Structures are given as C-alpha cells and as structure tokens.
C-alpha cells in the first residue's frame, strides 16, 4: 500500500474521508420526482433503513451529487456500498435522459466510476492504488506531476467531463450547497427545496459554490 496516493495525504495537502454516491449534470430538478425515484431505487436494491437523501450541487457546472443517509452508507464500508447498488442511476438515467455515474472514492484503496445511460450500464473504470505504477517514488513526485497522474484516474476524468477539477468534485459533499431530504417527507416540500438548490435562473453564485 502506498499511503497518500489517493489524495488522503497527497503532496497537495488535501485530506478527505472515503465517500460514494451518484453524480449527474442537471439543468433543473423540475418534474423529476426525485424522492419517489429514490424510494423506488431502495426497494429495488433491497436496502432498508435509509432516512434521507443528501443532495449537493455545484451551481456553476450544474453538477449534482446524491447520497443516501443510512447506516449502510456510513464510513469507509458505506462508501463501497455504491459500487454494487445502482438502481437509482438506472432509474435517473432513464428519467432524465442524461448520464448518471455511481462512484466510490476510498483514499486508502482506490476509486471507481460506473456510468449509466437510458437505464443501462454503459461504462465504468476502477483504479486500485497499490497497483498503480509510479514513474518515481511518491515522495519524489512534485505536486504538478502528482496532480497530472490523478487526473487520469476515474474520478479525475469524470471531473474533467463535468468541467471541474478532481479536488472540486471530491469536495462536493462537504463544501457545495446541499440539503438532506427526508425520504418519507412530502414530495412537494422536497421539490421546493430542490428548486432552491438549483434555480432555473441564476444571477449570482454564492462564494461556497466556487469551491
């Protein structure tokens, strides 16, 4: 194991915990019935005990991250739950006619992205950090070379597709505007919250969204 290669103790100083979820680009949440789809997906995945859906948004690029609030999604083991449970990206990719990615980021092990389109798996990539061949020992790599290497990995490539940096995408759960929706809450109230997170008309972006 090469500590820090995933970013937890990287030369750039970024410190992150393992996390996972679902990512997509949306112009608006209008008419999506997100809570209904989230509940349906949990039933299809055979998952019980979830209480909420955490929604985080980068308004500048209209990138949305979705993650269940549940015992089975907590911690490092919870991050890996998203590697095998893809009912929500299947449903969302069909409902939005957009690509939806399930992802796992574990700074001590590796990262994975699985893409869905029109309800079907259309691609995916995984990197295990201990299998990465470094051009020089990690402690001899400068920040620029280290960053360039990471940008070729699944999360880095996905960030590029979204118009974000790898660092911005990985920090999305922590610093972007977000809200936790109650899965059993009223769908109309949830829709109003989502509209506020990703308004159709945007004039000025808050500082926190610049990451």
Q: How many CB atoms sit inside 10 A of residue 77's CB? A: 11
> Would 10 be classed as within a structural domain?
no
Predicted pLDDT of residue 141: 82
Across the chain, which has 211 residues, the per-10-residue mean pLDDT values are 52 71 96 96 97 96 98 97 99 98 96 98 96 83 86 96 96 88 89 88 48 44
Q: Domain range spanning residue 39?
A: 19-198
Q: Is residue 1 part of a domain?
A: no
Q: Which helix (H) or strand (E) holds 106?
A: strand 100-106
CA 134 to chain centre: 26
* pLDDT for the residue 11: 39
Place of tokens 């920090």: 171
Residue 44: inside a domain, yes or no?
yes
- Domain-located, residue 49: yes
In a domain, residue 124? The reply is yes
Residue 206 lies in a domain: no
**Structure confidence at residue 85 (pLDDT):** 99
Number of compact structural domains in the chain: 1
Q: Is residue 203 part of a domain?
A: no
User: Residue 194: inside a domain, yes or no?
Assistant: yes
pLDDT for res 146:
83
């Amino acid at each position: 194991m090469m500590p820090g290669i995933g970013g937890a103790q990287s030369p750039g100083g970024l410190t992150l915990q393992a996390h996972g979820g679902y990512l997509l680009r949306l112009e608006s949440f209008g008419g999506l019935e997100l809570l209904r789809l989230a509940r349906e997906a949990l039933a299809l995945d055979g998952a019980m005990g979830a209480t909420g859906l955490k929604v985080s948004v980068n308004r500048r690029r209209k990138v949305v991250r979705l993650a269940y609030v549940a015992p089975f999604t907590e911690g490092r083991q919870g991050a890996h739950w998203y590697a095998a449970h893809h009912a929500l990206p299947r449903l969302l990719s069909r409902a939005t006619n957009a690509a939806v990615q399930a992802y796992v980021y574990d700074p001590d092990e590796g990262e994975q992205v699985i893409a869905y389109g029109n309800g079907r798996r259309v691609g995916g990539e995984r990197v295990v950090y201990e299998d990465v061949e470094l051009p020089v020992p990690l402690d001899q790599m400068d920040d620029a070379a280290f960053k360039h290497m990471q940008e070729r990995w699944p999360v880095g490539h996905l960030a590029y597709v979204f118009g974000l940096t790898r660092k911005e995408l990985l920090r999305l759960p922590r610093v972007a505007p977000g809200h936790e929706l109650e899965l059993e809450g009223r769908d109309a109230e949830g829709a109003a919250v989502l509209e506020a997170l990703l308004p159709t008309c945007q004039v000025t972006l808050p500082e926190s969204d610049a990451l």
